[in-house]
Structure 1
Amino acid sequence: MSVLDEGIAPFPLEQPAAETVPSDQEHDGFIQAVTHAEDIDDFDMRHLRYFLTVVRAGTVSAAAQELHISQPSLSQQIRRLERRIGAPLFIRSSRGVELTAGGRAFLREIQSIPGQLRTAIAAATPAPRAWPVGVCGGVPAEVLAQVQNGLVGCARIRQDPARPRLRMRSVGTVDQLELLRHGEIEFGIVRLPCPAPHLVRAVVWDEPLGIVMRPDHPLAAHTALTWADLATQRLLWYERGCAPGYAETVPVQLAGLGWNARLHPIDHDQQALFVHALQTTADLVALRPRLAVQGDPQLAWRPLPAGVAPRERLAVTALAGSRAAHVLRRVAARHDWPYLP
């Protein structure tokens, strides 16, 4: 069944009630939408999902696993979509798939449709039961509580069980950007800077970074560190895919302050593996705000030598123009969270 096939009450073209009279612009937009819909009666929404998943996964086999369907079935559906459009969308090779020029044009025009549809559905539902929130790794519990209280309010939840709740889950920053765009999560929590022009951001955490190490590390005996001390150490640091923007910016800031750190990259942001790497590697240190590690007996924290240290900033994000973005703007104003449109 097409996504446009469900029964919908007719638009009030004749003698509408006073409160539902559409403006001329709205009426013209509706007529145009009806005309466009007539041209895509046989278009299935799932084909958009299949197409977008193949683009994201890079191979048909990986996309089929993600979609929980067989690879031949997915290939057949993609070919059906190409026949419907009348142009090839992918160039197939042994390494995977690449978009054709037509495929890139198609992607550019349709990638916002799932998010727009989700927003339209949400707009018709005044009180959603849950807002899914993607959370990048290493976010302190107090930040999650602050976001919870800001977006919903714990006291209000207890008084009114029907109010929206947050459903938080671990999602890497890169994946968050895709899920927000496709409407699969309402909000994200990421480290800044996070280059994504289609998002709005509200800063909820802004703390100076310091050196983190195991308690028996030789530098843990120093109450104050120097750049010469740190020159002999490698820095346990994010790969770009874990924290785009932040992963590149902080090492550049450190170099400007006097430490050209040799990076020891990690492709994850799990706390247990982070601690394990520090405990099992002799010349390895990391960067974290003091508040993020205080009270952890497995870690020691020391300030950086600089008077003005690089900072870690965490922000709640939402898709620009969405209902979630309007909610975030109001909450940011109420709680004095710096808002970055």
Structure 2
Amino acid sequence: MSVLDERIGPFPLGQAAFGAAPEEPHQEEIQRAVSHAEHVDDFDMRHLRYFLAVVRSGTVSAAAKELRISQPSLSQQIKRLEQRIGAALFVRSSRGVELTAGGRAFLREIQSIPGQLRSAIAAAAPTPALWSVGVCGGVPAEVLAEVQNGLAGQGAHHVGSRPGPHLRMRSVGAAEQPELLEHGEIVFGIMRLPVTAPHLARAVVWDEPLGVVLPTAHPLASQPSLTWEDLSTQRLLWYDEGCAPGYADAVPAQLTALGWKAVLHPVDQDQQALFVHALQTTRDLVALRPSTAVTDDPQLVWRPLPTASAPRERLAVTALAGSRAARYLGRVAARCGWPYRA
């Protein structure tokens, strides 16, 4: 995975969005900025985007595909950037590219520029802002509606007050979200708890017990209840670590403590169609989901786990701890009754 998503999206997160008071720049700071700008007149934000795209993708060909330009054109632009800097940024090999020492130094210094530029645009732009929200796979529609109503402040404003922000929900894997939050590529994330990243504030918007999901043709589907002995002969269709870091390890550990040391069958459960297909075509395979996640699917049945303390699926809205977004999330959580931890 990359260090940074290079795309500069139209979802600024600035002072205007959260009502922070603007600060007047000092004259010496302006003079210093002007002096620095004199030396970068021939730099283009496009070059930074291209550089960050290659860092993220690991290969020039993959970056070119993502940027929708030809590979020779991207290679030429990277060479021009290296010539302007006066140092090689990448070591090229048959496996892809790696940053040189100079490339790593360059990355450290420039990776915050896209976020700073977005903040500057947001500070000058009129509200409402457009905020990007990363959504991990398998999030129920009612959760998205709850988040929409909470973060956008629908129904919370008095008549005549300015409208709330606009949200853009986008599919982002849980493993990617902490990094994109840190670099401002998304403002909020929706992911399953627990999360391994320690620097995230979180507000729980969904908390449901897990139960056993089976296809209708499964031999156990006709039983109204299941025992641990029934489940001991079944493999568990489960998330790989990249789909749900933290959660993917925590739930199997809880099941082992309850008496079911399940043999895991990992799959990319971010894709519902693959989830259902695997259950229907693989013998001795069951899954775990909250009942509401499969109620409307006629191909599946749900049975409770044989315990009063079943593992739970908790979905949370997250933001970078200490940020304006986190403070805003805290106020929304208090208003909506979402359990919140900074």
Which interval holds the TM-score relative to the shorter structure?
Answer: 0.7 to 0.9
Q: Is the 8 A contact 1:236 1:286 kept in 2?
A: yes
In the alignment, which residue of structure 1 is the partner of 2:147?
147
Within-5 A mapping of 1:149-164: 149-155=149-155, 163-164=164-165
CA 295–268 in structure 1, closer or farther in 2 if over 3 Å, else same: closer
Q: What CA distance in whole angstroms lies between the structure 1 residues aligned with 2:112 and 2:228?
A: 47
Q: Is the 8 A contact 2:129 2:166 kept in 1?
A: yes
Q: Deviations over 1:20-57 (max 9, x none)?
A: 9948xx45544444443344333222222111111111
Q: Is the 8 A contact 1:199 1:320 kept in 2?
A: yes
In the alignment, which residue of structure 2 is the partner of 1:3?
none
In the alignment, which residue of structure 2 is the partner of 1:260?
261
Task: State, as a whole percentage, how many aligned pairs show the same letter.
Answer: 72
TM-score by length of 2: 0.83
Q: Secondary structure at the match of 1:128?
A: coil
Q: Which amino acid aligns with 1:215?
A: T
CA 330–34 in structure 1, closer or farther in 2 if over 3 Å, else same: farther
Q: Is the 8 A contact 2:207 2:315 kept in 1?
A: yes
In the alignment, which residue of structure 1 is the partner of 2:83?
83
- For structure 2, the 5+ residue unaligned runs are 1-20
In the alignment, which residue of structure 2 is the partner of 1:273?
274
Q: What CA distance in whole angstroms lies between the structure 1 residues aligned with 2:23 and 2:53?
A: 40
Q: Deviations over 1:263-291 (max 9, x none)?
A: 11112412232122212222111111122
Q: Which amino acid aligns with 1:67?
A: L
In the alignment, which residue of structure 2 is the partner of 1:329?
330
Q: Deviation at 1:124?
A: 2.3
In the alignment, which residue of structure 2 is the partner of 1:306?
307
1:208 maps to 2:212: no
TM-score by length of 1: 0.83
Q: What CA distance in whole angstroms lies between the structure 2 residues aligned with 1:199 and 1:41?
A: 37
RMSD: 2.8
Q: What CA distance in whole angstroms lies between the structure 2 residues aligned with 1:257 and 1:237?
A: 17
In the alignment, which residue of structure 2 is the partner of 1:118?
118
Aligned pairs, how many? Answer: 321
Q: Deviation at 1:70?
A: 1.2
CA 336–37 in structure 1, closer or farther in 2 if over 3 Å, else same: farther
Q: Is the 8 A contact 1:112 1:181 kept in 2?
A: no
Q: Secondary structure at the match of 1:127?
A: coil
Q: Is the 8 A contact 2:148 2:167 kept in 1?
A: yes
Q: Which moved more, 1:57-66 or 1:223-232?
A: 223-232
In the alignment, which residue of structure 2 is the partner of 1:218?
219
Q: What CA distance in whole angstroms lies between the structure 1 residues aligned with 2:74 and 2:52?
A: 12
Q: Secondary structure at the match of 1:147?
A: helix
- For structure 1, the 5+ residue unaligned runs are 1-18
CA 46–144 in structure 1, closer or farther in 2 if over 3 Å, else same: same
Within-5 A mapping of 1:150-299: 150-155=150-155, 163-299=164-300
Q: What CA distance in whole angstroms lies between the structure 2 residues aligned with 1:83 and 1:253?
A: 55
Q: Deviations over 1:168-209 (max 9, x none)?
A: 232322344454444443322111223334543222112221
